[in-house]
A and B are shown apart, each in its own frame.
Chain A
Amino acid sequence: MQQFSVHKIGPEIKIAGIDLSFTNASLFMVISALTILLFLFLGTKEKKIVPSKIQLIAEMFYSFVAKMINDTAGSKAKPYFPFIFSLFMFVLFCNMVGMLPYSFTVTSHIIVTLIMALFIFIAVTIIGFVKHGFKYLSIFVPSGVPAVLLPLITIIEIISYLSRPVSLSVRLFANMMAGHTMLKVFGGFVISLGFLGGWLPLGFSVALTGLEILVAFLQAYVFAILTCIYLNDALNLHH
């Protein structure tokens, strides 16, 4: 579909045989990042005691993420607040910018979400090994399992650990892509049914747009909270 196609903008850039050209996907990532910067800049420009609307929203985002980290990963995860906050804001704004007509949804491409998920996965694994050394491997060996079952359980645990980046990335990508495809399908119905029959799918389209905005927020939230949960496993080994 046309809304998912990636095309180059400007000249082709190749470094060491790798195509690094600027595409419309890169453009919309830059737009999302700049929107976040602008929003937070405006939100923190005037530090009033009685906050203005934009300051209130910015503070709400801050306390929302701070509370989420504190509830799921405990106080030990405080140093990772900047990372999780930027992750949450980036996913949220990519999803929301994708809701605008004629825009491009960066998160509806699995390569984008997979890279983010793999980065989180590798980072969490490194954090776990740095904090606990080789004792970190004990998350693959649950306590209280009979010795006969231990090899089997360990393999299952390893598969379950390796499935984290897959489930994290596929969830975000599938939700965004399915939602946009559905909107497209209902939009197509409006055209093909014409003036007489097109009103029902048009109503559905409006309702689905509302649902999509909810999903866009929810998926950013789920992405961030799962990062917190994985971080919690790495920081507090026995829970």
Chain B
Amino acid sequence: MTIPEDFKTRLKIAKSKLKNQVLSDGEKRGSFMGNAFKLGTELVAAVAVGTIIGFILDSWFDTKPWLIIIFFFLGAAAGILNVIRTAKQMQKEE
């Protein structure tokens, strides 16, 4: 049994249309939830990294506990910066 040529192309176009639609819907929902998960760790990770850098620098320069305090706040600032950036990206995508 042979399938006529124009039917084949029509089927292909229809399938690709359907596939794109399903994909974009699923992707949209996925990226919303993904963004929501992203924001939390973004903030915490920067604070942790800042504090670790402060701790290392403290033991290098023997300035306990000043640098760890300073870098804790710098890390918090970096975390907020990260969150703002992620939120901006989310708005741009919409």
Contact = CB atoms under 8 A, between A and B. Distances in A.
Contacts of A166: 45, 48-49
Given A64-B23, A155-B74, A156-B81, A163 B49 contact: yes
A78 interface: no
Interface residues of B, number: 31
Mostly, the A contact residues are: helix
B30 A156 contact: no
Contacts of B42: 163, 167
A173 to B, nearest CB: 10
Given A67-B23, A156-B78, A222 B46 contact: no
Interface in B3-20: 8, 11-12, 15, 19
Contacts of B49: 159, 162-163, 166
Given A49-B12, A175-B37, A163 B30 contact: no
Contact of A170 (B11, B45, B77): B45
A81 B11 CA distance: 28
9 contacts: A49-B12, A50-B8, A56-B19, A67-B27, A156-B77, A159-B53, A167-B45, A170-B41, A225-B34
Interface of A: 49-51, 56, 59-60, 63-64, 67-68, 152, 155-157, 159-160, 162-164, 166-167, 170-171, 174-175, 217-219, 221-222, 225-226, 229
